[in-house]
Amino acid sequence: MSLCSDALMVLFYDIEGDSRDHDAWHSHEHFRERLSVPGFLRATRWVAAGPGPEFMVTYEVDSVDVATSGAYLDRLNDPSDWTKSMMPRFRGMVRGFCHVVAGAGLGLGHVAAVVRFAPEAGQGGALFDRLRDDVLPGLAARRGMAGAHLLRPAPPPPMTREQALRGTDRPLPALLIATAYDAAALDQAVRALLPPEALQATRAEPPAEILTYTIAHTATAAEARPGG
């Protein structure tokens, strides 16, 4: 996955009721709000292509320090009326900032496989090394694939008024995100290189889960500026 930086904020959640008004709010207001905050570089909304949370949203940021920046916290502590009406409909929010530990491949495909996992206590280093050295290059090298990245969570961001409207967020686990331009090739790559027994062998604490998503909308900070 071609990224703009070595840090991201990632969210997983469901929306109660019809999600079409969520999509309108997210694309026409929320993207612009977030991308106007210094340090936010690109926003992408993904929609589930299988079981799991309906939405994954990725925000590429110039540093995990954005999580505690004055501009970002001011924005979250002064939600718009539209945001106030949306937040109570969020369900199961998992949210956090993370460091990009490693990457392989080229570009961003329209379909993604996302592994959410928690290393066993004391085994994080060995697991990340195994995924970085063997799994990421193997995924990226297969025909039909674009890129893959390994993400390590940073400390949870502080509570804000916006979060209080929807309830406490669950912390973000470690992630492996692989994208492809060919959905069938992505499925085959995951089956070959990331079967459940492989995750167990790399000392990932059960239950690791693999989710699939497709891109719905993506935009950059340059596009969101007035006149962009």
DSSP 19: S
Q: Name the residue with tokens 């492809």.
A: 180
- How far, in Å, CA of 52 to CA of 225, rounded? 33
Whether the CB-CB separation of 112 and 214 falls below 8 Å is answered with: yes
Our count of domains for the chain comes to 1
Q: How far is CA 26 from CA 49, 59, 219, in A?
A: 19, 13, 11
2, part of any domain: no
- pLDDT score, position 3: 86
- pLDDT score, position 115: 95
1, part of any domain: no
- pLDDT score, position 198: 74
- How far, in Å, CA of 54 to CA of 64, rounded? 25
- Domain housing 39: 7-224
How would you label 25-58 residue by residue, b for 16+ Cβ within 10 Å and e otherwise? bbeeebbbbbbebebbbbbbbbebeeebbbbbbb
164, part of any domain: yes
101, part of any domain: yes
- pLDDT score, position 69: 96
- pLDDT score, position 33: 95
- How far, in Å, CA of 32 to CA of 77, rounded? 16
Q: How far is CA 96 from CA 13, 33, 52, 64, 153, in A?
A: 12, 18, 18, 9, 7
Q: What is the CATH number of the domain that holds 150?
A: 3.30.70.100
17, part of any domain: yes
Which residue from 183, 203, 53 is spatially nearest to 109, judged by alpha carbons? 183
200, part of any domain: yes
pTM (global) more than 0.85: yes
Whether the CB-CB separation of 196 and 117 falls below 8 Å is answered with: no
Identify the segments of the chain with pLDDT beneath 50.
1
Q: Name the residue with tokens 């309108």.
A: 24
